[in-house]
């Protein structure tokens, strides 16, 4: 059994444990490489069927190719997708692209706040109706008690402090110093009523592992990850006003793997193109304490 097989087996085990122990379970799908690899693992874990809804927090500023890819996969794979947005902040133009706030406040409005209220069922959610081929208001506003997330410990400092089963309080706030210990394959999945739990099946995967798995499994990803001829590609995807591509001539998954193995990005953070990560020290951890992914 090679390293990818071991990682796959652990992730599938975590997914099945989560499905067994959490009644109202969902999975966040950001449309990036990690959450799409996680979606593929979920389909494997449950024999081609994903038995819980996918949740996408739509800031309305995602790169258009991301939304096109999302909707195509939803239709092709018959996915149960829910999306939600902070429509109030968008209507009031309380966003960085509108020039009415800074990047961090914009992230709190369109990501952290949207995520918390959509998960709790306090804000209107929209579900893709395969018969109507359209997103319609979701009549089920039950709160999610467990949410599966494609977080990796190596991606960013605050994420290395996560557990496979990481509890949040009723408002989804994260107490980093109050995380349960996890030994080998022994995980705490029994939490007090009102606890919201984030589940991280990809915690021990690396960026290289993800791309090797995408290559092995032939998983379709957003073309933005590849150079289209300008010597640029995206390494991490986000909102278009705050996300920049990196210098790269990688035109396919094999090229990306070769780049990573060569050490080209050894001293360059994976999220170096995400401007909100540069707005002062510790800001991403602050966002994550407040509910951000």
Q: What is the per-residue pLDDT across 169-191, written as a single tens digit (0 to 9) for each?
A: 655 565 566 677 666 666 767 77
Does one domain contain both 271 and 285?
Answer: no
266 lies in the same domain as 199: no
Q: Tell me what pLDDT residue 223 has.
A: 97
Secondary-structure breakdown of the chain: helix, strand, coil percentages, each rounded to the nearest 5: 40, 15, 50
What value does the mean pLDDT take over residues 69-93? Answer: 97
pTM of this structure: 0.89
Domain identity same for 233 and 187? no
39 shares its domain with 154: yes
Shared-domain flag, residues 144 and 57: yes
Summary mean pLDDT of the chain: 89
Q: Residue 271 sits in which domain range? A: 222-277
Do 198 and 228 fall into the same domain? Answer: no
pLDDT at residue 87, as a whole number? 96
212-220 average pLDDT score: 98
**What residue spans of the chain are helical by DSSP H?**
3-21, 33-45, 64-76, 87-91, 103-107, 114-120, 207-217, 253-262, 283-289
Reported confidence tier of residue 230, pLDDT bands at 50, 70, 90: very high
Cβ pair 63, 183 in contact under 8 A: no
146-148 and 165-168 strand pairing:
unpaired
Q: Indicate the number of domains in the chain.
A: 2
The predicted structure's pLDDT at residue 282: 47
- Tell me if 80 sits within 8 A of 127, measured CB to CB: yes
Same domain, 11 and 78: yes
Can you give the pLDDT at residue 287? 55
pLDDT tens, 113-126?
Answer: 999 999 999 999 99
> What whole-number distance in Å separates Cα of residue 52 and Cα of residue 194?
20
Q: According to the model, what pLDDT value does residue 171 have?
A: 57
Is the pLDDT assigned to residue 264 strictly greater than 60?
Answer: yes
Residue 269: what pLDDT?
86
Judgement on whether residues 184 and 77 belong to the same structural domain of the protein: yes
Indicate whether 216 belongs to any domain. no
Tell whether the model's pLDDT for residue 13 goes beyond 90.
yes
């Amino acid at each position: 059994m090679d390293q990818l097989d071991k990682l796959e087996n652990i992730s599938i085990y975590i997914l099945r444990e989560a499905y067994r122990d959490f009644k109202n379970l969902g999975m966040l799908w950001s449309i990036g490489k990690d959450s799409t690899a996680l979606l593929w693992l979920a389909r494997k874990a449950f024999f081609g069927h994903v038995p819980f809804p996918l949740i996408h927090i739509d800031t309305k500023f995602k790169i258009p190719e991301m939304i096109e890819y999302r909707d195509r996969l939803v239709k092709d794979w018959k996915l149960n997708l829910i999306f939600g947005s902070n429509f109030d902040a968008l209507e009031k133009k309380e966003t960085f692209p509108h020039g009415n706030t800074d990047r961090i406040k914009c992230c709190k409005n369109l990501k952290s706040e949207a995520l918390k209220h959509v998960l709790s069922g306090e804000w209107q959610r929209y579900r893709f109706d395969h018969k109507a081929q359209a997103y319609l208001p979701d009549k089920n506003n039950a709160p999610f008690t467990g949410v599966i997330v494609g977080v990796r410990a190596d991606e960013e400092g605050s994420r290395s402090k996560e557990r496979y089963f990481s509890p949040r309080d009723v408002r989804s706030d994260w107490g980093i110093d109050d995380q349960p210990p996890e030994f080998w394959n022994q995980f705490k999945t029994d939490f007090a009523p009102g606890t919201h739990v984030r589940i991280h099946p990809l915690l021990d995967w690396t960026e290289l592992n993800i791309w090797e798995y995408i290559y092995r499994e032939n998983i379709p990803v957003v073309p933005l990850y590849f150079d289209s001829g300008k010597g640029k590609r995206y390494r991490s995807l986000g909102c278009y006003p705050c996300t920049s591509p990196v210098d790269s001539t990688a035109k396919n998954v094999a090229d990306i793997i070769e780049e990573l193995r060569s050490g080209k990005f050894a001293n360059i953070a994976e999220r170096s193109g995400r401007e909100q990560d540069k707005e002062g020290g510790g800001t991403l951890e602050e966002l994550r304490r407040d509910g951000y992914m």
